[in-house]
Amino acid sequence: MANILDSFKLDGKVALVTGGAYGIGFAIAEALAQAGAKIAFNCRGQGHLDQALADYAAKGIEARGYIADVADEEQVAQLVADITADLGTIDILVNNAGIIKRIPMLEMSAADFRQVIDIDLNAPFIVSKAVLPGRIAKGHGKIINICSMMSELGRETIAGYAAAKGGLKMLTRNICSEFGEQNIQCNGIGPGYIATPQTAPLRELQPDGSRHPFDQFICAKTPAARWGTPEDLMGAAVFLASDASNFVNGQVLYVDGGILAYIGKQPS
């Protein structure tokens, strides 16, 4: 029997991490690169792309960056064609690009709701659809959708985000159902509350120097008693991208410090 650790290696695999310029996407791309994968990522603007390339270079990672809007089918088709020409068939897709709009539902416009759905749910459908033919022809492939605890829970002010992430969980299961026989595994990672630029407003100190009430709430609600870091997601990403997870399909792995398992502390 081969060494079990060999099944986690990604040598020679081509990985596309959407929105991989910073935060969770960057950390996942770094992890996949450390495991041996060739990294491609997209940005929507040249400025972000240039900064990301510099950040990858500083980590010693030879990443390829492309400008593309993952909610645009034509741009995605070109993105996949360019990556295939430059690096080869995409073996691993990480649907990470996403946005959140924290707006009370009664104040949220339909346009704002549609924008969140478009980027957080339609885009993973579009990119997955674009890469699937290459995986079917190759006889193997991995898709990792970055879901959320809001794939399971609701909270005020994030109707669009929760709806999109709940839909992404079911898209994950449906891709598994439809393409599992072609040896394609589609799973999700459900991060807990992760310290990134996107969540920075929830961790800002108050004018009196106290912690933000939501920061206090999350640390009290999480058994690990802290926010997660992008690095906390690296192991899960390598597992789901590798042959070690070849019989894991249609699942969402929650990396949340235990928050979904915990009812919370009893008031004193």
Q: What is the DSSP letter of 265?
A: P
Q: What is the rounded end-to-end Cα distance, in angstroms, of the chain?
A: 55
Task: Report the distance separating Cα 212 and Cα 215, nearest Å.
Answer: 5
What are φ and ψ of residue 228, in 5° steps?
-80, 170
Q: Quickly count: other Cβ atoms within 10 Å of residue 38's Cβ.
A: 24
Give the tokens for residue 160. Answer: 């669009």
Told to judge if 22 belongs to the known catalytic residues of this protein, a careful annotator would answer no
Angle between helices 159-179 and 123-138 (to 10 degrees): 20
Tokens of 200: 């920075």
Residues 79/131, Cβ–Cβ less than 8 Å: no
Of 68, 15, 8, residue with least CA distance to 38: 15
Query: Residue with structure tokens 């990134």?
Result: 196
Choice among 161, 193, 254, 262 that is catalytic: 161
Give the three-class secondary structure for 184. strand
| Other beta carbons within 10 Å of 126 | 19
CB contact burial 175-189 (16+ within 10 A = b; e otherwise): bbeebeeeebbbbbb
- Whether residue 259 contacts residue 151, with contact meaning beta carbons closer than 8 Å, is answered with no
Question: Which residues carry out catalysis?
Answer: 161
